[in-house]
Structure 1
Amino acid sequence: MTHDNDTLSNSEEETRDFLLSLSLFDSFNVDELSLLAQHMSYIHLQRGEFLFVEGDKGDFLGFVVQGVLEVLKKSATGENVIIARLAKGSSIGEMALIDKSPRSATVVSRQPTTMITLTSKGFDRLTEKSPMTGVKIIQKVARLLSLNMRRTSSKLADLLNVYPV
């Protein structure tokens, strides 16, 4: 598969090289990663800046290139509780690529942070050019969601002090 012999910009090359460093994309070839990089963009956040707020429209998946994000969820008493910290290589917003539902948590930058993102529109355009690359991305996102759900289930069981019957 080729990507119309397009040459990558410096930014797209940096994006592709970062994607190469993520185990999530270890089964992708260079052409697939180049195509993916062409459909991604950068976001730069200052310390204390929100990536998104719970309830916002979910329309992108992102990967932390550098910096630290905190994922916050409102408790029953209305306080924001930190439920995760995300550093280099972490992903956020996987559900948005699948279901386009409102964001389920708030994400704030705890230090200057750079991310690369794939919007729903970018994913749709990529999939039009290369359906198989789109399928591979969905498979990887499904695995991420499954792993996250297993981790969450284990944490919930620990918190509820569930004992075998």
Structure 2
Amino acid sequence: MPDPTSLNNEIRDMLMDCGLFDQLLPPDFQTAAGYFSISTIAQGEEIFHEGDAGTFMCIIHSGQVSVRKTDPDEHQVEIATLRKGRAFGEMAVLDGERRSASCVAASDCQLLNLGKDSLEKMLNETPKVAAKIIRALAVALSRRLRMLDGQRLSQQV
């Protein structure tokens, strides 16, 4: 069985490496690491399905993830490929809605996972660190939305 301290340190290092949480201080990373877990997903494996309840979110440590939506003819269409450092699945965890897309491992992946209940626990036990995590996710979502708005605008011109 792996040593919990070394696992916690590995998760801490992965969180520091992902680039999402620049506002966190070194002790914040150590604290947050206790609420995340690591999973290894094989290429082709579905991580979650469009319409599922959003019980967890992920951050890509290595590998690539294909984001797919079902079109009106019931075919899955790839809408994005996500790489190292990208969070996904966070919308459903934050807003409680169902998954807006399916995510499939486009290559072998190592992911950091944060369950909805772990986020709740973090909010209760270490609210300042949880607030920094949530703020970082909100900023990342906001950037993506602004980028999409910019793309839409340039397509209309």
TM-score of the two chains, using structure 2 as the length reference: 0.90
CA distance in 2, matches of 1:45, 1:108: 9
- Residue 101 in 1 paired to residue 70 in 2? no
Greater relative contact order, per chain length (Cα 8 Å cut-off, separation 6+): 2
Paired amino acid for 2:91? M
Q: Is the 8 A contact 2:18 2:84 kept in 1?
A: no
Q: CA deviation at 1:47?
A: 1.2
Task: Tell me the secondary structure at the aligned position of residue 24 of structure 1.
Answer: coil
- 1:118 alignment partner in structure 2: 114
Q: CA deviation at 1:58?
A: 0.6
State how many pairs are aligned: 155
CA distance in 2, matches of 1:27, 1:8: 25
- Residue 147 in 1 paired to residue 131 in 2? no
Task: Tell me the secondary structure at the aligned position of residue 135 of structure 2.
Answer: helix
Match of 2:23 among 24, 27, 36: 27
Taking every aligned residue pair, what percent have the same amino acid on both sides?
Answer: 28
CA distance in 1, matches of 2:146, 2:90: 15
CA distance in 2, matches of 1:23, 1:48: 26
Task: Tell me the secondary structure at the aligned position of residue 110 of structure 2.
Answer: strand
Task: Tell me the secondary structure at the aligned position of residue 39 of structure 2.
Answer: strand
Unaligned runs of 5+ in 2: none
- 1:132 alignment partner in structure 2: 128
Match of 1:81 among 77, 80, 85: 77
- 2:156 alignment partner in structure 1: 162
Task: Tell me the secondary structure at the aligned position of residue 20 of structure 2.
Answer: helix
Q: Is the 8 A contact 1:46 1:109 kept in 2?
A: yes
Structure showing greater Rg: 1
Q: Is the 8 A contact 1:72 1:106 kept in 2?
A: yes
Task: Tell me the secondary structure at the aligned position of residue 150 of structure 1.
Answer: helix
1:83-113 CA-partner distances (Å, limit 9, x unpaired): 1111211110121231121100010012211
CA distance in 2, matches of 1:43, 1:156: 35
- 1:50 alignment partner in structure 2: 46
1:29-50 CA-partner distances (Å, limit 9, x unpaired): 1221111110111121111100
Q: CA deviation at 1:73?
A: 1.0
Q: Which runs of 4+ in 1 moved over 4 A?
A: none
Unaligned runs of 5+ in 1: 1-6
